[in-house]
Chains A and B, each alone.
Chain A
Amino acid sequence: MNFELNDEQCMLEDAVAKLVAGKLRGERPVFAVSDAAWQKRWQQLAELGVAGLLVNPEHGGAGMGALDAVVVARALGRGNARLPFAVCAASALWLLDQAASPAFKAQWLAKACAGEVLFTLAVDDDNHLPQPPGVRLEGQALHGRKSAVVAGGLAQWLIVPAQDVAGATRLLAVPADHPAVRIWSVPQLDGHNSAELQLNGVPLADVEELNAGANPDALLAQALDIGRVVLCAEAQGLMESLWRQALDYLKNRQQFRQPLIQFQVLQHRLVDMLTAVESAHSATLLGAASLLHANADAERSQQVALAKCRIGRLAVQVAEQATQCFGGMGITDEFESSHYTRRLHTIDMTWGNADEQLRRYAAQM
């Protein structure tokens, strides 16, 4: 086994890190970043060629793999770029590349890779309601709701799974500006964009149906698992940085006439956090390995659940302990580290939090 990055991956990591430290340096206050600014930031990322990282080169992509996406996401996390790379680039564009018609790909995929058009996946139901509404395909039109759509207020296209009357899953790319589409744009906890989506009878003729083959559920599950692993990598990068920020803070902050780092109780807290950060690294890699080497969908699914469950637990642990290290500063909007903790919590809650992944894992034991 070998865990070293190759030369190409090192260059990729450097390029993303430079962009994140420069043009993508965090804007603040967190909730004041405009939609236009988020769009511009996405384009700047796309200019590096990473939006289409997993897309075939003939459609404008880089034709790279899951490990490369892990490298990119980790670098985005280290500087907390807060961009929906996992959902909109890794998952959504991979899915389009797999299943969209040649004509649709020719028209849209290169533009998406260039950052001119944003696609997202609208997969979550508001499942805290007694009866999650979901999206149905009835009478040749789409009806229903999807919730917590990442970047749903910014995207031009939303890929929506819908149940047809036969109970089968159909995957449909819906244009956001269709008159029968209603979108409520809502900020995420970390300042990025989310949305509630309602489809009020969008005619099938006005949407692009993906050719998802014999088992659309399996294809969608794979797309989501790719996104989950990439989210894990971003969280790993965030945790690495947050740990370093806590260390620096404790070295600089003086109380009782000495730097706080002199206190053994705080040194031990940092060791606990470092152990968690290293575990996050391992969890990410084992998730990535399952995307590459799993013998079957079920095995991949369980290993990704494992990775994201652990990442969720570790993210909450590191975020809470870091916040404690920062004292009162840790809960202010102004203090940059609180942007990291909020992003970590957002990642845990995206596409299944740690408890949900635990149920998924345990059900397969």
Chain B
Amino acid sequence: MELSESTADQEFRLQVRQFLEQHLPDDLRQKVMDFAWLDKADYERWHNLLADYGWQGPAWPKEYGGQGWSALQRKIFDEECQLACAPRTVPHLNMICPVLNAFGTPAQKQRFLPNMFRLKTWWCQGYSEPGAGSDLAALQTSAVREGDHYVVNGHKIWTTWAHWCDWMFALVRTNREVKAQEGISFVLIDMRSPGITVRPIISADGCHDLNEVFLDNVKVPLDNLVGEENKGWTIAKFLLGFERAEMAAVGLCKRLLQFCRKAAQTHYLDGRPLWDDALIRHRLAELEMRVKVHEWTALRVLASEASSPLASAAPSMLKLASSELQQDLTRLLKDCTGPRGTQYLRALRQGEAVEVKDLRAFDNALVANYIDWRKVTVYGGTTEVQKTITAKAFA
């Protein structure tokens, strides 16, 4: 056993930290520090800063045009970025890029990959449907061959950033005669195609990230099929196992913890900081301990062989632990607010100047953010689905 970070990894950490000190713009950092809602341009700016430094595709293997960092280096990179309050990199890229590399044709790779990292093209994920949530294989959006293209009809939902996107990678039904999982294909759909309607879904915090996408006789060239027809489910499953470590979101948990400290130190109860209040201090301490233990579980998974017994259930178990922790952390943030926790100005969260007596952007965001954070035990496989998957390893 070697239970400390190697010198090389410590040096790498310093390099990332220096990069962030020198290149992360203050205004972007401030937005993340304030829990502000980030706009399309904010993400584009961050991706370009990373790419300019030569760090495109931090999470990708070298053969996919990424950095080829070890799992531990990726964890260090993410952690340092989170702690420095950098924006996250757009998660969809870490889904579509490995799929194209593993299953795409040379022409598809050449066409789509080069524009990906600098966000010259934006991608959304067309998986869920109103009738296919946890039971994703029940999806009904159909793709019927007609000459050199498919005709796609259906209704996708919870499509994050569809209104910003140029392309959608979607699961569609190409065969109704076979078992549900065996009739699904993975296709790339141009969001500017005739027949596509994007309808916004406004979240409970008043912000617009989610959408419904209606597909009405949308023509998709056969060239946009990824992998074989009716093998889409294999691709979807490949993706689920692709990022074991990222599921743990250790860096994010640490940033939320940092925010909890800040909230406890800047909110008062009867003239004394909540930081000095035994109840809040002990809740915070307990969370800090849980985050640390969660980090060590993630480190053990990173270091373990893919064939170890822990590995098959690891992504689900890490997601379970992480989502529960994130929700408990954001709950503490909510509970640090006083009576003014009931007030919420969406415009302030979205970066507009608003003048209200003694109102800080960070405080304004805490409760709305708590409500929004309830989504993490739902998206990417609900807690209940993750537990059922984990139980398959032993039951």
A-to-B contact residues, CB < 8 Å: 1-6, 9, 67, 247, 261, 264, 267-268, 270-272, 274-275, 278-279, 281-283, 285-286, 288-289, 292-293, 306, 309-310, 358-359, 361-362, 365
Contact yes or no, A67 B1, CB < 8 A:
yes
Knowing A247-B394, A270-B391, A271-B320, the reply to whether A279 touches B284 (Cβ < 8 A) is no
Question: What A residues does B290 contact at CB under 8 A?
Answer: 310
Question: What B residues does A359 contact at CB under 8 A?
Answer: 282
Contact yes or no, A358 B1, CB < 8 A:
no
Question: What A residues does B390 contact at CB under 8 A?
Answer: 271, 274
Question: What A residues does B6 contact at CB under 8 A?
Answer: 1
**Chain B residue at smallest Cβ distance from A283:** B293
With beta carbons under 8 angstroms apart, the residue of A267, A292, A362 that contacts B395 is A267
25 contacts between A and B (CB under 8 A): A1-B4, A1-B72, A1-B303, A2-B1, A2-B303, A3-B3, A9-B1, A268-B384, A270-B395, A271-B390, A274-B313, A274-B394, A275-B317, A275-B321, A278-B297, A279-B293, A282-B294, A282-B299, A285-B3, A286-B292, A289-B4, A292-B3, A306-B292, A358-B289, A361-B289
Question: What A residues does B282 contact at CB under 8 A?
Answer: 358-359, 362
Knowing A267-B395, A279-B321, A358-B282, the reply to whether A289 touches B289 (Cβ < 8 A) is no
Contact yes or no, B5 A278, CB < 8 A:
no
Question: What B residues does A288 contact at CB under 8 A?
Answer: 3
With beta carbons under 8 angstroms apart, the residue of B284, B303, B391, B395 that contacts A3 is B303
Contact yes or no, A310 B289, CB < 8 A:
yes
Measured as residues with beta carbon below 8 angstroms from the partner, the interface class of chain B is: 35 or more
Question: What B residues does A309 contact at CB under 8 A?
Answer: 286, 289
With beta carbons under 8 angstroms apart, the residue of A261, A282, A292, A293 that contacts B297 is A282
Contact yes or no, A3 B300, CB < 8 A:
yes
Contact yes or no, A282 B300, CB < 8 A:
yes
Question: What B residues does A292 contact at CB under 8 A?
Answer: 3-4
**Chain B residue at smallest Cβ distance from A288:** B3
Q: Once the chains are docked, how many angstroms separate the CA of A288 from the CA of B292?
A: 14
Question: What A residues does B317 contact at CB under 8 A?
Answer: 271, 274-275, 278
Contact yes or no, B391 A286, CB < 8 A:
no
* A354 smallest CB distance to B (angstroms): 9
Query: Beta-carbon contacts of B1-43 to A below 8 Å, as 1s and 0s?
Result: 1111110000000000000000000000000000000000000
* A90 smallest CB distance to B (angstroms): 17
Question: What A residues does B289 contact at CB under 8 A?
Answer: 306, 309-310, 358, 361
Contact yes or no, A289 B3, CB < 8 A:
yes
Q: Once the chains are docked, how many angstroms separate the CA of A312 from the CA of B22?
A: 43
B281 interfacial by beta-carbon distance below 8 Å: yes
B132 interfacial by beta-carbon distance below 8 Å: no
Question: What B residues does A267 contact at CB under 8 A?
Answer: 387-388, 391, 395
Q: Once the chains are docked, how many angstroms separate the CA of A365 from the CA of B281?
A: 9
B363 interfacial by beta-carbon distance below 8 Å: no
Knowing A362-B281, A365-B281, the reply to whether A271 touches B4 (Cβ < 8 A) is no
Given A1-B3, A267-B391, A285-B3, 17 additional A-B pairs, CB 8 A? A1-B5, A6-B1, A270-B394, A275-B317, A281-B300, A285-B296, A285-B300, A289-B3, A292-B3, A293-B3, A293-B4, A358-B282, A358-B285, A361-B285, A361-B288, A362-B285, A365-B288
Per CB-CB distance, the 8 closest pairs between chain A and chain B, nearest first, are A282-B296, A289-B3, A267-B391, A362-B285, A2-B2, A282-B297, A268-B387, A271-B387
* B46 smallest CB distance to A (angstroms): 29
Q: Once the chains are docked, how many angstroms separate the CA of A292 from the CA of B310?
A: 26
**Chain A residue at smallest Cβ distance from B285:** A362
Residue of B281, B299, B317, B395 with most chain A CB atoms under a 10 A cut-off: B395
